[in-house]
């Protein structure tokens, strides 16, 4: 089989648009069956580009029944929780088309064990019916919902599946809705508003998905903030699992571009087989960007990858404060490597990233300046929601503090184990 060809290409994928593998099809399907061919190409590229290639096991790719199982076996378990294989159609639907199939909601378990809405996309039937963050989900199809059975109750990712939801809304009233899964346009800006606190105007944006579809929504939100002459900016990334580097660059340009354009934003560092791929990404110039001296981020254990890159990358350039809890801890990036003739996209970890001060390797997450709980009992923008309350307090007093709920425990986000759920949290 001929060697895979490496081409430089400017593409908007995951954390870096530096390289794409075009898989050689020199072998015919008679030489190996499809799974053998795919597994062998995966093994070949992992030996070349994988960040931890020296720890790869000596293995026969033909011993594995599918690429998903094979990639799971190859992952360097002490550090790598992310390398995966994804269905090409599912990948393109999310990253390229900005769509998903489902109800467009994320559920979580609050500190008392109640299942609540964490967020709901604005394009959904649920949102049109009034469903909002903080609503309690009592039952799905008349079965009490728990963290263990929610995935089974909601069913597969297929348009047309109808589910009966029994909610309790923010007023404490029961609401029953029959919701149908459909192909949805993802709305990455979940919430935006301008808060007025003690004669200060504070722009507040909840941002969920680093995908191309986010760009016009970011433009609209930041333009509104700019036209209103905000004094402070809060970007809430509490459930943001990351995504495209180009979107992170775009946001950095808005935030820091007027005074920091062309300064180093992040460094992408590949393995020692490919030092030629190491890259310094600079802050892009944004003529109408903000001229703020500081910025506040809200993050949780679900804040990962490109979200952490944005926070870490801006830290040397301006006064950056993080409120919430330790972030997820993914200081590495993946390339999206699609097969030409097969329906797979391979997503191996291929580089680590640092900021301009060479700060990275935060596998335990970024540490907040002020601790606060993710308060599922309150909607976005409620000044009594603990993360936002702590942020507003920090802005006002300049003093870090701890804002915990009165009850014990912490929020638990309900996610399945699909590779796409590293990024797309809703279902």
Assign residue 160 a region (left: φ > 0; alpha: ψ between -120 and 50; beta: otherwise).
left
pLDDT at 337 > cutoff 80:
yes
Confidence of residue 27 (pLDDT cuts 50, 70, 90): very low
Q: What is the pLDDT of residue 291?
A: 84
Domain boundaries, given as residue ranges, for the chain: 5-95, 99-185, 189-332+352-404
DSSP class of residue 162 equals E
DSSP class of residue 290 equals -
Neighbours of 56 (CB within 10 A): 15
Alpha helix (H) residue ranges in 132-244: 150-154, 214-227
Q: Give the distance between the most distant pair of CA atoms in the chain.
A: 73
3-state SS assignment for residue 102:
strand
Query: Rounded distance, CA 56 to CA 44, Å?
Result: 11
pLDDT at 13 > cutoff 90:
no
Q: Contact at 8 Å (CB) between 209 and 423?
A: yes
Confidence of residue 410 (pLDDT cuts 50, 70, 90): confident
Range 180-202 burial, b when 16+ CB lie within 10 A, else e? ebbebebbbbbbbeebeeeeeeb
Average predicted confidence (pLDDT) for the chain: 91
Q: Take residue 136 and report the two structure tokens written for it.
A: 């309690």
Neighbours of 288 (CB within 10 A): 12
Whether the full predicted model's pTM is greater than 0.85, yes or no, is yes
Task: State the architecture of 189-332+352-404 in CATH terms.
Answer: Alpha-Beta Complex (3.90)
DSSP class of residue 315 equals T
Arithmetic mean of pLDDT, 392-405: 90
Query: Rounded distance, CA 419 to CA 427, Å?
Result: 13
Assign residue 203 a region (left: φ > 0; alpha: ψ between -120 and 50; beta: otherwise).
beta
* Least reliable range by pLDDT among 16-30, 69-83, 118-132, 368-382: 16-30
Assign residue 147 a region (left: φ > 0; alpha: ψ between -120 and 50; beta: otherwise).
alpha
Please tell me which residue, 314 or 32, carries the higher pLDDT value.
314
Task: For residue range 272-299, list pLDDT tens digits in order.
Answer: 999 999 999 999 999 889 988 999 999 9
Query: Rounded distance, CA 38 to CA 44, Å?
Result: 10
Arithmetic mean of pLDDT, 101-116: 96
CA–CA–CA angle 382, 219, 357 (5° rounding): 85
Fold of 99-185: Pdz3 Domain (2.30.42)
3-state SS assignment for residue 112:
coil
Fold equal for 99-185 and 189-332+352-404: no
Q: How many helices (H) and strands (E) does the chain have?
A: 9, 25
């Amino acid at each position: 089989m001929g060697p895979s060809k490496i081409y430089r290409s400017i593409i908007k994928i995951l954390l870096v648009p530096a390289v794409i593998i075009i898989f050689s099809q020199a072998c015919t399907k008679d030489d190996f069956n499809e799974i053998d061919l795919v597994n062998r190409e995966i093994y070949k590229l992992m030996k070349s580009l994988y960040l931890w290639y020296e720890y790869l096991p000596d293995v026969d790719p033909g011993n594995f029944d599918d690429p998903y199982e094979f990639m799971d076996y190859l992952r360097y378990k002490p550090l790598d929780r992310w390398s995966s294989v994804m269905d090409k159609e599912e990948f393109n639907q999310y990253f390229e088309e900005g769509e998903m199939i489902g109800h467009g909601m994320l559920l979580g378990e609050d500190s008392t064990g109640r299942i609540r809405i964490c967020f709901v996309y604005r394009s959904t039937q649920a949102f049109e019916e009034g469903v909002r963050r903080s609503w309690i989900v009592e039952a799905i199809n008349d079965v009490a919902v728990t963290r263990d059975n929610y995935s089974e109750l909601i069913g597969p990712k297929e348009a047309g599946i109808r589910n009966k939801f029994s909610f309790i809304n923010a007023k404490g009233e029961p609401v029953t809705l029959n919701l149908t899964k459909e192909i949805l346009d993802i709305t990455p800006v979940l919430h935006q508003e301008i808060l007025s606190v003690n004669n200060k105007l504070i722009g507040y944006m909840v941002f969920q998905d680093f995908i191309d579809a986010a760009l016009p929504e970011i433009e609209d939100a930041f333009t509104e903030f700019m036209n209103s002459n905000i004094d402070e900016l809060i970007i809430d990334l509490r459930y943001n699992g990351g995504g495209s580097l180009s979107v992170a660059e775009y946001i950095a340009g808005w935030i820091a571009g007027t005074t920091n354009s062309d300064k180093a934003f992040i460094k992408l560092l590949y393995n020692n087989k490919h030092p030629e791929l190491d890259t310094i990404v600079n802050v892009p110039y944004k003529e109408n960007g903000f001229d703020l001296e500081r910025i506040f981020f809200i993050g949780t254990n679900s804040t990962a990858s490109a979200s952490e890159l944005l926070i870490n990358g801006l830290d040397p350039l301006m006064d950056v404060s993080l409120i919430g809890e330790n972030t997820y801890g993914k200081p590495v990036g993946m390339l999206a490597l699609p097969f030409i003739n097969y329906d797979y996209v391979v997503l191996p970890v291929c580089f680590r990233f640092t900021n301009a001060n060479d700060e990275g390797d935060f596998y335990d997450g970024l540490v907040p300046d002020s601790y606060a709980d993710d308060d599922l009992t309150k909607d976005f923008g409620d000044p009594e929601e603990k993360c936002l309350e702590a942020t507003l307090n920090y802005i006002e007093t300049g003093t870090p503090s701890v804002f915990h709920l009165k009850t014990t425990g912490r929020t638990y986000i309900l996610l399945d184990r699909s590779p796409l759920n590293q990024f797309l949290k809703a279902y």
